[in-house]
Amino acid sequence: MNVLIVIAALCLAGFLAFSPRLSKSTGWQATATPLASIMGSGFLVSAPLLAGIVGNLAVVCMAVLLVLAYLVGNVMRFNIRHFEPIENEQGAAQKVAFLSRMVLVGAYFISVSYYLQLLAAFLLSSLGIESEYGPNLISSSLILAICGIGMWKGLDQLGSVEKYAVSLNLGMIGALLLALALYNLRLLQAGEWTLSDVTSVIDLSDLRVLLGLLIVVQGFETSRYLGDLYPAEQRIKTMRMAQLISTGIYLVFIGLATVLFHDGLGSDVTAIMTMTAPVAAVLPVLLAIAAIGSQFSAAVADSEGAGGLLEDVTNRKLSMRYAYFLIMLITLALTWETDVNAIIAYASRAFALFYALQSIVALMTARVQRKRSLVAELRFALVGLLCFAVFLFGVPSG
């Protein structure tokens, strides 16, 4: 099993990273960017967190989160098609869109701290080290390095590693799904397949924690800001494809992983390593490697995104050098004032507020341009209200 998993991970990662056909395909590249964002950190933390909150109802709750994410994706796709062409005009929708970009800057600040805190947690857990201040020190060192390089010569060079980090992460995901499928099949053949007796009752507190997990399926909105690279219709198509692929992967993954649930999961975001250890001894090692690579890449990407947005919303009055300095100060403060469980909920709430404002933009645009029926307008309003509820009521786990 161990050899098979390593071979599967290397083959899939190598194909994604070095395939000439994929490297020349703008469709794949436009799909891979939002797909990597959706799968990046959520795949690492979703199973243990859901296990600790809702037990064997995890796959049902994940499905609900994915439906909400897809509805938000519809809002973003509508805005790509109908709002982008009028974005530089004057009007109420444009003012709300500007406010949403400001919120997105804040969400990026939080997500940079989140990714690096998660990286530090996986690094220390893989080394068997428990330290009160270790995660903060590691995260802070990486923030100083990333923002320092950004201030010095930009993050283009670091951004070039994203392709390989994404390929490694997707390769690991494919290998993990294969391993879980074989493990479940082996249990079925031996007549030993059974679910653990874990708590599966959802109360109001659990519901609020679930709202705080929107971040695990977030990331599709990156297509909205790739207009310099891909045309609108291609971004719409590939964003939808990325969401559908990630939905299938998440549901299969949670469904296969449910047999591994046991008491004590939920508060430890790195529990995926101990949870999958019975499947194959090599999985915790591969998961740690993939986690470190993917979270570093994601932190670089969001630092670059935050810097670009800061430059944009200040009409280039704030240079990229000072933008990275501001990112450094804020993310350092966030890192020392939060822990990884809290930052997950804060990131979810920040992105939920961004989605709520984007829903208002879609509703206003639809009403002015009469681009959608009353039913569609009501759907935009409902999505906005749901996202606003996540912003108001989402709380950390543990």
pLDDT digits over 197-228, tens only? 777 778 787 888 887 788 788 888 888 888 77
- CA quadruple 24, 26, 27, 32: dihedral positive or negative? positive
Checking if the pLDDT of 21 tops 80, the result is yes
What average pLDDT does the segment 123-145 reach? 91
pLDDT at 159: 58
Helix (H) or strand (E) holding 123: helix 92-126
The lowest-confidence range among 199-213, 246-260, 290-304, 318-332 is: 199-213
Domains of the chain: 2-393 (1.20.1740.10)
CB 156 within 8 A of CB 303: no
Give the residue from 317, 298, 360 showing the smallest Cα distance to 99: 360
Checking if the pLDDT of 285 tops 80, the result is yes
pLDDT at 270: 86
The lowest-confidence range among 37-51, 97-111, 116-130 is: 37-51
pLDDT at 266: 64
Give the residue from 391, 18, 331, 398 showing the smallest Cα distance to 146: 331
Residues with Cβ within 8 Å of 336's Cβ and at least 6 positions away in sequence, in order, are: 136, 140
The lowest-confidence range among 152-161, 166-175, 338-347 is: 152-161
Q: What angle do CA 169, 214, 352 make, to 5 degrees?
A: 125
Checking if the pLDDT of 398 tops 60, the result is no
Residues with Cβ within 8 Å of 171's Cβ and at least 6 positions away in sequence, in order, are: 8, 9, 10, 11, 12, 13, 14, 16, 290
Question: For residue 158, what pLDDT band results from cuts at 50, 70 and 90?
Answer: low
Q: What are phi and psi of 263, to 5 degrees?
A: -65, 150
pLDDT at 397: 65
pLDDT at 34: 85
Question: For residue 362, what pLDDT band results from cuts at 50, 70 and 90?
Answer: very high
What average pLDDT does the segment 311-330 reach? 86
Checking if the pLDDT of 312 tops 90, the result is no
- Tell me: the pLDDT tens digits for 240-251? 999 999 999 999
What average pLDDT does the segment 350-358 reach? 94
pLDDT at 39: 83
What average pLDDT does the segment 189-196 reach? 87
Q: pLDDT averaged over the chain?
A: 87
Quickly list H helices, 314-339.
Answer: 320-337
C-alpha to C-alpha distance for 209 and 204, rounded to whole angstroms: 9
Report in angstroms the alpha-carbon separations of 222 from 24, 216, 226, 239: 20, 15, 7, 9
Share of the chain above pLDDT 70, in %: 96
What average pLDDT does the segment 27-52 reach? 85
Q: What angle do CA 119, 169, 206 make, to 5 degrees?
A: 60
Residue 134 structure tokens:
């270790």
- Tell me: the pLDDT tens digits for 338-351? 988 888 888 889 99
What average pLDDT does the segment 289-297 reach? 86
